[in-house]
Chains A and B, each alone.
Chain A
Amino acid sequence: MRALLLALVAIGLPVAASAARNVVSLNLCTDEALLTLAPQRAAAVSFLARDPSLSVVAAAAAHVPAVGADAEAVLALHPKLVLAGRYGAQAVLAALRDTGVRVVVFGEPRSFAGIRAQWQALARVLGVAARGAAAIATMDAALAPRSAPRGTAVWLQPRLVTAGADTIEGAVLRHAGYVPVARSGGLEALVADPPRLLVLPAMPRFPSLADAVLTHPALAGIPRATVPMRLVACPGPWTAGAVHLLQ
């Protein structure tokens, strides 16, 4: 997984420093794409990009100005292009479009095929199609063949939310040989009918009730695996690393 990340970083390295920094990203997922594919063009990224528990580009983001969803602050950077997510801050995006800035919105892929399509589109928008293709090739090389069937797995998220089949977590589980199951009914339902594997996020640095429930002793009897949140929070080539951890 480390080799995969290094390979992805290397894609972005041999770059002329002269290009104008005129792309602003307002969403963690586009932050990661921007800083992986065209770091030399990044004028600002969101503050979440600096959080190493969520972001795979935390080190690179530390050297880029952070910006919030604030139209005035974004316009002050004179961007040619603003990258944003599908949810949140829609009013800010509308205001930016009104002033003539090009705003491109990306959703979150829910499968590895979706990641390939998304990264092709991202690389095209950033004008680095070759680098996009290289990132996808790195992911495909890192993605080992599907594992043999191994039973059910529940991907548990904070607040006891369980990931359904049509999510990137579901895709990771299927590739690792598990049948993803979603559960409602809380802790009790989970303990009453335990899966073969419980996948949990790595504990964040700061406590919350949402995370506290994941350490309840009633769950101690179920085999578990831990996957860092940053590998799936935004699906990207690095998500192949989550499959590795479960295989």
Chain B
Amino acid sequence: MTIRLALLLMLLCLASLLVGGAGLGVPPATILLLLRLPRTVLAVVVGAGLGVSGAVLQGAMGNRLADPGLLGISGCASLGGAVAFYWGLAAASPLALPLAGLLGATFGGVALFGFAARAGTGLAFILAGIALASIASALLALVMALAPNPFALAELGDWLMGSVADKTPAAVMLASVPVAAGCAMLLRLGSRLDALALGETTAASLGFDAAATWRRAAAGVALAVGAGAAVVGGIGFVGLVVPNLLRPAVGERPGALLWPSLLGGACLLVAADLLARLAPMLLPLHAQPRLGVLTALLGAPFLAVLARR
């Protein structure tokens, strides 16, 4: 499964480098290196972070609805990014944007895991996450309504729906390093999540403390989601759909789902971005649709089919 997903990702990346506003085929070097490569890398990195974060959250919480987007961690990260961007911090220091995203995601993660520690990880946990996501998007709208730029409110869609188009190579680097670190952290949680799936007491008897697992999961998810969401905005659904989509093929063991979810998330986001670029060529559209729209359109029908079974 992992190898097949890796091959699919390579194919999608190749296609992604050959499609764009300049037409189909191999573009001139400037376009390839300064526009398409950053776009593709960003889609891979952000998608991978969201996919593996979804798998870890679902494993750690024992709840298949857990997802960084649905639970508001992405929303808190976008909020941090938007504050840094519109209020001039990002212009003052390039590091401010990813750091503010990390700060937002950390806040979201701590709030959620703190709630889970007190009230459990069932339905109330999902509801608390949805509340956090609503607060984050309301504050985002407020921040942008108050931002001293006439375009700010029109850009709310970019932050709520996400976009990887036309980002600079420097921005891609700033997002990629923390996301890669977060993914590395999350991928090492496999055996802890497997133990936790047997119940907290059993996990403790195996030497894995549930609270420690949650702390590592929270830190890893904040890294894997935060900097990405600060640069591309909040892309929902990837973390929810990908692990649920792959579980029938991989099996119920949470640890076995991590690598496939990482690759699957990257595949889904690169495919959605590819579709965003093809849409103006195939349909009478003047602009490329936003990425979050397409991840939902691509992922949601599969989820509905899975839910019915």
Interface residues of A (CB under 8 A from B): 158-160, 184-189, 191-192, 204-211, 213, 215-218, 221
Contact = CB atoms under 8 A, between A and B. Distances in A.
A221 B30 CA distance: 9
Nearest to B28: A192
Given A204-B149, A217-B168, A209 B88 contact: no
B34 A217 contact: yes
Is chain A's interface secondary structure helix, strand, loop, or mixed overall? helix
Given A186-B21, A188-B22, A188-B31, A209 B155 contact: yes
Given A188-B21, A213-B166, A206 B35 contact: no
Contacts of B288: 186
Given A206-B149, A209-B158, A211-B151, A186 B88 contact: no
Nearest to A188: B21
A158 B280 CA distance: 20
Contacts, number: 79
B34 A207 contact: no
Given A185-B22, A206-B88, A191 B151 contact: no
Contacts of B299: none
Given A191-B35, A192-B27, A213-B166, A207 B22 contact: no
Contacts of B280: 185
Contact of A208 (B151, B165, B166): B151
B154 interface: yes
Given A185-B22, A188-B21, A216-B34, A210 B151 contact: yes
Contacts of A191: 22, 28, 30-31, 34-35
Given A210-B151, A218-B31, A186 B91 contact: no
Contacts of A159: 151, 154
